[in-house]
Structure 1
Amino acid sequence: MADTGFSACAAENCNASYDELLTNISPYAWAYAGIALGLGLSVVGAAWGIWLTGSSLVGAAVKAPRIRSKNLISVIFCEATAIYGVILAILLLSKIGDGSEGSSGSLPEDWNYNQWYFAGYSLFASGLGVGLTNVASGVSVGIAGSACALADAQDGSLFVKILIVEIFASALGIFGIIVGIIQSNDAEFPST
């Protein structure tokens, strides 16, 4: 039977831990992963909301063609979640700097590792939090926009009432980006 390498680590009593794993990944990688998650999940939330709203809008417009242009505001509210992700990505990218580690490519002796890791993890958490918030916001705006289109097709007086519910659903994305900005406020990568 061939040795797969797993038993070698057990025989040598390897003490690999999660803190070693987390500290051996560059904080710049954590920061860029947070930016990617924030932007990517925000676009997913917007697309999901537009899909929910758009499909109901097109279906309801068959019965009542007058709702087509008026209910496009629901699609705009969904698209705002993607814009929140873009805003966050720009803000977080400005905190990274150029990523240089000195002219020799090695870290200097007096390098502030705690600040370095804090910045990377903070930007990751900020991006992930905003991305997940924007997925929830996009879906909730999409569901409210779908209900708005269907209700407006039945009774035109319901449009404004349901639109207010949709505005509150859209506020979730605004709250998410505010929390993300606060979360990443003190995250600055040390300069060499």
Structure 2
Amino acid sequence: MSSDASGCQSAYCNQGWSEVLTHMSPYGWGSFGIAFGLGLSVVGAAWGIWLTGSSLVGAAVKAPRIRSKNLISVIFCEATAIYGVIMAIVLNGLMKKPEDSSYVDGVFSEGWDYNTWYFAGFGVFCSGLSVGLTNVASGISVGVAGSSCALADAQDPTLFVKILIVEIFASALGIFGIIVGIIQSNSSQFPDKLIN
């Protein structure tokens, strides 16, 4: 066994990143995409709720009247987590197990189109990642706008509606993300039968 300049003595040292991309199961890629989409959406919602909630509670000490109507900011933050759940359900529905008898315990016999499988796996992964990252950005932006809305409302009640409109635009980022995710996942169909 020979070693290279980095001192690597394994037979696997000279294999590149293409080995990582093609030797992991397409179902694994799809599952990671679903996990990232759902997990990052929840992180975005939690971050936004933390930003909004802390400002709301702090400002409500001096102006208790803002407590109830500013809870709408928390609801907007929570919507980003719901977008992630919806997309996880959609993506999970795409990942169906082959019905053909030549697929046994995760091992494929000859005749399967591996390119279609990997295309579907990478498509689900990218779709989930797009939705998750978009929802992190949406959750943070809604949280910042909601925090500003609570503080501004505590000072001047006429500013509530004006800043709430800005918050709605920030929440639209999550909707755009789920639309892009659905478009990305439309062509991600896992094959369920052998090619003839």
Q: Is the structural similarity TM-score above 0.5? A: yes
- TM-score, structure 1 normalization: 0.92
Q: Which residue of 1 aligns with 2:115?
A: 114
In 1: Cα distance, 2:13 partner to 2:127 partner: 33
| Residues 188/60 of structure 1: CA separation in 2 closer, same or farther (3 Å cut) | same
| Residues 170/164 of structure 1: CA separation in 2 closer, same or farther (3 Å cut) | same
Partner of 1:165: 166
Query: TM-score scaled by structure 2?
Result: 0.90
Amino acid in structure 2 at the alignment position of 1:113: Y
Q: Deviations over 1:11-66 (max 9, x none)?
A: x7964121122100001000000000000000000000000000000011111111
Structure-2 separation of matches of 1:83 and 1:13: 42
Contact kept, 8 Å, 1:92 with 1:123, in 2: the verdict is yes
| Structure number with higher helix proportion | 1
Identity of aligned residues (%): 70
- 1:86-120 Cα shifts (integer Å, max 9, x gaps): 00000000000136673544313220111100000
Q: Is the 8 A contact 2:98 2:191 kept in 1?
A: no
Within-5 A mapping of 1:52-131: 52-98=51-97, 102=102, 104-105=104-105, 106-131=107-132
| Preserved CA contact (<8 Å) 2:80 2:138 | yes
Structure 2 residue aligned with 1:149: 150
Do the aligned partners of 1:28 and 1:99 also contact (CA within 8 Å) in 2? no
Find the counterpart in structure 2 of residue 32 from structure 1: 31
Distance in 2 between the 1:131 and 1:36 partners?
9
Q: Distance in 1 between matches of 2:12 and 2:77?
A: 53
* Separation in structure 2 between the aligned mates of residue 43 and residue 7 of structure 1, nearest angstrom: 40
CA apart distance, 1:183: 0.5
The whole-number CA distance in structure 2 between the counterparts of 1:164 and 1:7 is 58
Task: Give how far 1:6 is off.
Answer: 4.6
Q: Structure 1: which amino acid aligns with 2:20?
A: L
* AA matched with 2:184: Q
Aligned partners of 2:25, 2:159: CA distance in 1, in Å? 53
CA drift at 1:7: 3.5
5+ residue gaps, structure 1, are: none
